[in-house]
Chains A and B, each alone.
Chain A
Amino acid sequence: MNLHTRKLLDRSFTAAGFFAIVMMACALILILYPIISRGLGAYIFRATCEHRRVQFEEFQAGSRQEIEREAAEIAAVRQPVFDMIAAHEKDLKAELQEAFDQVRALAAAEGGFLQRSLERRLKRAHADASLEECLAVLSDIRESLKGQYDHERFIGVIGVITERKQRVEQAAGKLSDMKHALRDLLGPLPGDRRPELLRSHYGQTRWDRSLHYLDKFLYRYDWDYTNAENTGVKTRTPRADEFRGTDLEPAFGYVRDNIEAMMQPRLTFYWRFLTTDSRDAHFFGGIWPEVLGTFYLTIGAMLFAIPMGVIAAIYLCEYARPTKTVSLLRSCMSTLAGVPSIVFGLFGLAFFLNTVGVSDSKSVLAGSLTLALMILPTVIRASEEAILAVPFTYKEAALGLGAGRWRTVLTVILPAALPGILTGIVISMGRAAGETAPIIFTAAVSVGLAISPLQALDSPTPALPWNIYNLCTEHEAVDEIRHVQFGMVFTLVALVLALNIIAIALRARISRKLRG
């Protein structure tokens, strides 16, 4: 090989190495950028007044005066819309009036049982009754008139009722759609029945979601299937068109122009996302139970895996004779390191929960034991390598000075191997924190409170990796709470990163001390 070829090979190797590093950096940016940018969106975002109300009413955060002042301001801005709706409803009710008048006249003319029954129904459609109620009363009256044996006599009244009802019903349907869209944006409207689900108590808490729902309020999205040969086309029509010429028409322009005053978005650093529990299946609140659960599971796994792993490594390196059994043991361990994590999960369920019965239900304890089993091979392998890397002269010196084998291991070999052991522990700690499969059957649930360490022995817990998966695949309203999911991913990555940084710092300190 001449010099020229050698140079060329050398350069191309440099180029390949450089290329690999650039690729890795690109991949890192590609993966980390959305995690960080969208994940931070759960912590830092433009929060609306509804967010502050949730925080105050559910988590006692913020001052009462501030909230009340804001509520008064918002109510003042929102009121015109509600007034327009009320005026429109009144108009629609007025259109029904003729039908009611005819029924009333009929009742007076008939007298007797029919009068009593009609008047009882009419009473339900009093002046303050809702439009839906009035329509329902009319249907009810029509049915009862039709049910009379001599219903031909009422054919005129029935005709008026039917005609009026049809005319108003269509408008009422549009109004109800519009109110539904408004409810999604602003929360319950005045006069609504109080809902039980917490998510329906409040309007949009985030400005980005508010804009999404504003669009849905201003425009009606439909599918046009006129071309039967092809798939439908999405159409977008301004909702204002449906109410042209009514009291409600200006409402749409008003909401569009005043949306900021109605929602009062303010850039907020929502640190409580980390420290509060969730409400209504993650619609509101934070992820503290998940963070705490992940923490318990990781610490628990470490408590089991580190002593067992290090002791096993010491035994294998220092005490075991190099027999066939030991080498078989080593290859078994390597195999164990390659077993898919879901297999560990199922093993944990079958062994720790069903056979041994460490707890009555899924529990942090069972999950920790399973995770510990999963990371044990890594811990043993890393510790073994670290112990083997300690120069033989250290051991010779210690033994030469009269130290026993146990003392040599404890005072000379282990401290020297500590940085390497720590590296192995750090790697496996990150893995334990992030694994989903082993905890599905042994520890994780989708909803639960934060638990105390004592409860960890027999209670299951939510945990970040499982809840990320659960939110994205199983949650009934996943599109509403994407930010929570990204927030969880970001928190998990940050948590693992923090663990790693702590361990790296610790390791650097120890190495420095060792060097003297």
Chain B
Amino acid sequence: MKRMFKKIANCTAAAIAATVMVGTVYAGETIVMDGSTTVGPLAKAFAEFYMRQNPGVNITVAESGSGNGAKSIINKTCQVANMSRFMKDTEFKAAADAGVMPVAHVVALDGLPILVHPSNPVRNLTVAQVRQIFTGQITNWKQVGGPDLGIVCVSRDTNSGTYECFNELVMNKEKISDRAEYVGSNGAIRQRVQSTPAAIGYAGLAFVDDTVKALTINGIAPTAANVRDGSYPIARPLFMFTDGYPKLGSHLQRLVTLCLTEEGNSLIKETGFIATTDY
């Protein structure tokens, strides 16, 4: 009996030893990025690019929503909080109380395209129409020049920075109708819209592909030029927040300022966002 226990003990020890050996031997700096799912594609591209140029730095990216990003940096559980909205007063206060001084780095601009199913003949809506659709005053596509179909509104959850921006820029603080569906990520919005002919939703520019159609708003398309000069009405900057301005020359500083370099610019464009500067 004792021998059997010994055997089991040996097996466990061997398993643990194997785990230790199997694990990649590596010791470097770890940077944790947390927050917005909208900034996610960009953060992942930055992380990938930066790790490739600086082997030995491990950058992890979690996509849990802007609100959670803010909470994480206030709790000091991440170094970079990706946010698709600016921090709220309450969050700043909580941060200051916790001894964290959030510094905003604008990494890119993002238009908020209003998405419909590509079979929907509607091409253009005004901001007021979008608002009325989401408050429930307009309930049928017929009312805005489309087919006779009941509108299905798809919105982001309230933890999302994209939701906050939509709420501020389109809804004018009017309440979104109770019939709207709330989903947890940009990708989920796209999936809902691409599978529902009557749906309308909104997502970050990086999430638009040819399975959904982006409407023009007040006759203006969400292109780079229109977002940058402010003529596309539903647009916002994307932020990365750090605790204080990072030490000059540190990995953290170079990561959050990657958007200012030419390579960073290309990364922003290729992921679908709009760079603040134009090379």
The reply to whether B44 and A445 form a contact with Cβ atoms under 8 Å apart is no
The reply to whether B187 and A475 form a contact with Cβ atoms under 8 Å apart is yes
Cα of A475 to Cα of B41 in the assembled complex, Å: 8
Q: Name the A residues within 8 Å of B44 (CB-CB).
A: 281, 446-447
B138 at the interface (CB under 8 A from A): no
Given contacts A232-B120, A448-B59, A448-B60, contact A455 B30 (CB under 8 A): yes
Q: How many residues of A contact B (CB 8 A)?
A: 60
Cα of A228 to Cα of B44 in the assembled complex, Å: 42
The reply to whether B270 and A197 form a contact with Cβ atoms under 8 Å apart is yes
A209 at the interface (CB under 8 A from B): no
Name A432-459 residues within 8 Å CB distance of B.
440-441, 444-456, 458-459
B49 at the interface (CB under 8 A from A): yes
B206 at the interface (CB under 8 A from A): yes
**B2 nearest in chain A by CB position:** A411
CB < 8 Å: which of A221, A281, A449, A476 contacts B186? Answer: A476
Q: How many residues of B contact A (CB 8 A)?
A: 67
Cα of A451 to Cα of B19 in the assembled complex, Å: 11
B171 at the interface (CB under 8 A from A): no
**B123 nearest in chain A by CB position:** A225
Q: Name the B residues within 8 Å of A231 (CB-CB).
A: 117, 119-121, 147, 149, 197
CB < 8 Å: which of A221, A450, A476 contacts B40? Answer: A476
Q: Name the B residues within 8 Å of A280 (CB-CB).
A: 45, 48
The reply to whether A452 and B25 form a contact with Cβ atoms under 8 Å apart is yes
Q: Name the A residues within 8 Å of B206 (CB-CB).
A: 476
Q: Chain A nearest CB: distance from B6 CB in Å?
A: 13
The reply to whether A479 and B24 form a contact with Cβ atoms under 8 Å apart is no
**B187 nearest in chain A by CB position:** A474
B76 at the interface (CB under 8 A from A): yes
Q: Name the B residues within 8 Å of A478 (CB-CB).
A: 187, 191
A25 at the interface (CB under 8 A from B): no
Cα of A427 to Cα of B195 in the assembled complex, Å: 38
**A226 nearest in chain B by CB position:** B121
**A228 nearest in chain B by CB position:** B121
Cα of A491 to Cα of B155 in the assembled complex, Å: 33
Q: Name the A residues within 8 Å of B197 (CB-CB).
A: 231
Q: Chain A nearest CB: distance from B2 CB in Å?
A: 8
Q: Chain B nearest CB: distance from A59 CB in Å?
A: 13
Q: Name the B residues within 8 Å of A223 (CB-CB).
A: 118-119, 121, 213
B235 at the interface (CB under 8 A from A): no
Given contacts A353-B75, A451-B24, A452-B24, contact A296 B147 (CB under 8 A): no
Q: Chain B nearest CB: distance from A391 CB in Å?
A: 17
The reply to whether B20 and A446 form a contact with Cβ atoms under 8 Å apart is no
Given contacts A353-B75, A459-B30, A474-B37, contact A513 B62 (CB under 8 A): no
B253 at the interface (CB under 8 A from A): no
Q: Name the B residues within 8 Å of A245 (CB-CB).
A: none
The reply to whether B267 and A453 form a contact with Cβ atoms under 8 Å apart is no
The reply to whether B187 and A459 form a contact with Cβ atoms under 8 Å apart is no
The reply to whether B41 and A281 form a contact with Cβ atoms under 8 Å apart is yes
**A411 nearest in chain B by CB position:** B1
A51 at the interface (CB under 8 A from B): no
**B21 nearest in chain A by CB position:** A453
CB < 8 Å: which of B4, B64, B78, B263 contacts A440? Answer: B64
The reply to whether B61 and A448 form a contact with Cβ atoms under 8 Å apart is yes
Q: Chain A nearest CB: distance from B8 CB in Å?
A: 8
Given contacts A232-B119, A299-B19, A411-B1, contact A449 B63 (CB under 8 A): no
Name A274-302 residues within 8 Å CB distance of B.
279-281, 292, 295-296, 299
Cα of A452 to Cα of B62 in the assembled complex, Å: 19
B185 at the interface (CB under 8 A from A): yes
B226 at the interface (CB under 8 A from A): no
The reply to whether B23 and A292 form a contact with Cβ atoms under 8 Å apart is yes
Q: Chain B nearest CB: distance from A420 CB in Å?
A: 15
**B58 nearest in chain A by CB position:** A449
The reply to whether B147 and A448 form a contact with Cβ atoms under 8 Å apart is no
A473 at the interface (CB under 8 A from B): yes
A470 at the interface (CB under 8 A from B): yes
Cα of A198 to Cα of B47 in the assembled complex, Å: 13
The reply to whether B267 and A196 form a contact with Cβ atoms under 8 Å apart is yes
The reply to whether B58 and A196 form a contact with Cβ atoms under 8 Å apart is no
The reply to whether A445 and B149 form a contact with Cβ atoms under 8 Å apart is no
Q: Chain A nearest CB: distance from B83 CB in Å?
A: 16
Given contacts A415-B1, A473-B188, contact A447 B147 (CB under 8 A): no
Q: Name the A residues within 8 Å of B60 (CB-CB).
A: 445, 447-449, 459-462
Q: Chain B nearest CB: distance from A68 CB in Å?
A: 24
Given contacts A231-B119, A231-B121, contact A195 B270 (CB under 8 A): yes
Interface string of B48-67 (1 = CB under 8 A from A): 11010000001111111000
CB < 8 Å: which of B148, B207, B210, B272 contacts A229? Answer: B148
A510 at the interface (CB under 8 A from B): yes
A361 at the interface (CB under 8 A from B): yes
Cα of A48 to Cα of B243 in the assembled complex, Å: 46
CB < 8 Å: which of B27, B32, B120, B270 contacts A362? Answer: B32
Q: Name the A residues within 8 Å of B207 (CB-CB).
A: 476
CB < 8 Å: which of A230, A362, A475 contacts B62? Answer: A362
A477 at the interface (CB under 8 A from B): yes
Q: Name the B residues within 8 Å of A200 (CB-CB).
A: 270
B257 at the interface (CB under 8 A from A): no
B77 at the interface (CB under 8 A from A): yes
CB < 8 Å: which of A197, A225, A470 contacts B267? Answer: A197
**Residues of chain A having any CB pair with chain B under 8 Å:** 195-198, 200, 221, 223, 225, 228-234, 279-281, 292, 295-296, 299, 353-354, 360-362, 411, 415, 440-441, 444-456, 458-462, 470, 472-479, 510, 513
Among all A-B residue pairs, the 10 with the closest Cβ atoms:
A448-B60, A225-B121, A452-B23, A445-B60, A445-B62, A196-B266, A231-B119, A474-B185, A476-B41, A361-B32
* Sample of 26 A–B contacts (CB below 8 Å): A197-B270, A229-B147, A229-B148, A231-B121, A232-B118, A232-B120, A233-B119, A281-B41, A295-B19, A299-B16, A360-B77, A361-B79, A362-B34, A362-B62, A411-B1, A415-B5, A446-B62, A447-B44, A447-B59, A449-B58, A450-B23, A451-B26, A460-B32, A474-B187, A476-B40, A476-B272
Q: A447-B59, A451-B26, A476-B206 are in contact. List 19 more A-B contacts (CB 8 A).
A: A197-B271, A229-B148, A232-B121, A234-B118, A279-B48, A354-B77, A360-B77, A362-B34, A440-B64, A452-B25, A452-B26, A453-B23, A458-B30, A473-B184, A474-B63, A474-B185, A475-B187, A476-B40, A479-B209
